Amino acid sequence: MKRNTYNYLKDWKNSKNRKPLVIRGARQVGKTWIVKEFGRLEFENIIEINFDKHQGIAELFLSVDVNTILRSLELELNVDIHIGKTLLFLDEIQSAPEILSRLRYFYEDIPDLHVIAAGSLLEFLLEDHSFSMPVGRIEYLFMGPMRFEEFLLALGENKLVDYLAQYRFEETIPESIHQKLLNYVKSFFIVGGMPGVVNVFKDQGNYREALREQQSILQTYVEDFNKYRKRVKVGRLDKVFRRIPSLVGQKLKYVNIDRNEKTVALAHAIHLLELARVIYCVKHTAGNGLPLEAEANDRNYKPIFLDIGLMQSALNLRYADVLQSKELIAINSGSLAEQFVGQHLLFDFEYYEKPSLYYWSREEKSSTAEIDYLITHKGQIVPVEVKAGKTGTLRSLHLFVSSKKVNLAIKYSSIRPLCDHLHTIASSHPQPFTLLSIPFYLIDQTKRLLTEVR
């Protein structure tokens, strides 16, 4: 199963300034698999240490002398470790988080040794740790679910992926190809990007079995919460976790989760779920300039779920309804389409950048407006709308373009791609701007298309 992350790992391996790499991401997004595959193909051997399965082995890392640690590992595991040719993989490191502090010695004393650590709920643990993190001596890779084009590759549609990678706005996509790609988008709406679910669907071609795997993953997350019942109220965490999928795309109001719970308690539960990387908060920003984070409001946000497949499974949507839908935007009042776009934009940055996403809204009497997402491209703010139809009113988009003086905007929908040169209609002085209508299936080509249009 091909993941784009693999190319980043190859660059990391060959970097002159390489540091021990810590892969961060939710459980079951494919962290362990990609590292094993990378180790198998790019190294003479891979030494995998799973701290969940071999908890006693953590004591071998207590020494500050890295050579002593390596000799102990060779004796304990009956393996040879060759500097530069062996990949040392520390998996499920959340079961021995203090070892993260030891990674500084690997970087300082044996920088030519390739070391990767991975684990789930790392942020959950690191928020309350007693050891010193080796700042500046490790680097991070943030990993999410599979993207749409990775999904196509898993299903053997290599030619479609090549076609999308070479598409230009001047071309016309044949109707039959357009419909074929939209049907795959519908399948992605159901299956999502969790590798285990995609594997089941690829092997069996059965949505029912994919849904069964999704329910298993959702239950795994709930069981993870139980491990930390001394720190959190598991019942509250579980309640919020199950409620968030129905609130995707909406400004979060705590009363919509549980009107009987205190705001502070619910906010804490959401914070913990965000640390676990099973939900993300799309924060409101004024959008006046860069960086968007500078004007972000931590108390005003919209939630999105980790994965669209898990989301629709949690909502108990009928997959037949998704497959038969004539308009993807209409499914569950548009929340699935907004989730699809959001989870792709969230991880459409460099892998070492912490995922973040923003939106904009104006709330005035009789004059509300909202932009689904704001992204940046080459130093410019780009408003993003998820809309049905060829044009729609796009009133909020015109208002934002006019007030913020941007000249490029995106609309994701089910229609074929189109590059329109328009003028705003929301002011007395119409402003020219370019609107890229990008079909859902081209979402992984967004950066390239933006660059070519500019």
Same domain, 82 and 166: no
Same domain, 323 and 417: yes
* Host domain of residue 426: 149-453
Same domain, 259 and 404: yes
Q: Strands of 286-389 (E only): list them.
A: 296-305, 358-362, 369-377, 380-386
- The pLDDT tens digits along the chain (454 residues) read 899 999 999 999 999 999 999 999 999 999 999 999 999 999 999 999 999 888 789 999 988 899 999 999 999 999 999 999 999 999 999 889 889 989 999 999 999 999 999 988 777 766 666 666 777 899 999 999 999 999 999 999 999 999 999 999 999 999 999 999 999 999 999 999 999 999 999 999 999 999 999 999 999 998 888 776 666 788 899 999 999 999 999 999 999 999 999 999 999 999 989 988 999 999 999 999 999 999 999 999 999 999 999 999 999 999 999 999 988 988 898 999 999 999 999 999 899 999 999 999 997 776 789 999 999 999 999 999 998 755 457 999 999 999 999 999 999 999 999 999 999 986 678 999 999 999 999 999 999 999 998 7
Same domain, 11 and 100: yes
Question: Looking at 90, 115, 142, which one is the last position of a domain?
Answer: 142
Instruction: Output the CA angle 396-392-364, nearest 5 degrees.
Output: 25
Same domain, 108 and 174: no
Same domain, 295 and 355: yes
Same domain, 166 and 216: yes
- With contact defined as beta carbons under 8 Å apart, do 164 and 149 qualify? yes
Residue 145: what are its φ and ψ, rounded to 5°?
Answer: -65, 170
Same domain, 198 and 330: yes
pTM of the model: 0.94
Same domain, 97 and 199: no
Grouping H, G, I as helix, E, B as strand and the rest as coil, residue 426 is coil
Give the count of domains, the chain. 2
Question: Looking at 121, 142, 163, which one is the last position of a domain?
Answer: 142
Same domain, 346 and 436: yes
Give the CATH number of the domain where residue 23 resides: 3.40.50.300
Same domain, 112 and 240: no
Task: Give the neighbor-by-neighbor strand order of the sheet with 369-377.
Answer: 296-305, 279-285, 358-362, 369-377, 380-386, 408-413, 432-439, 418-423
Q: Looking only at Cα atoms, what is the longest distance across the chain? A: 77
Same domain, 154 and 206: yes
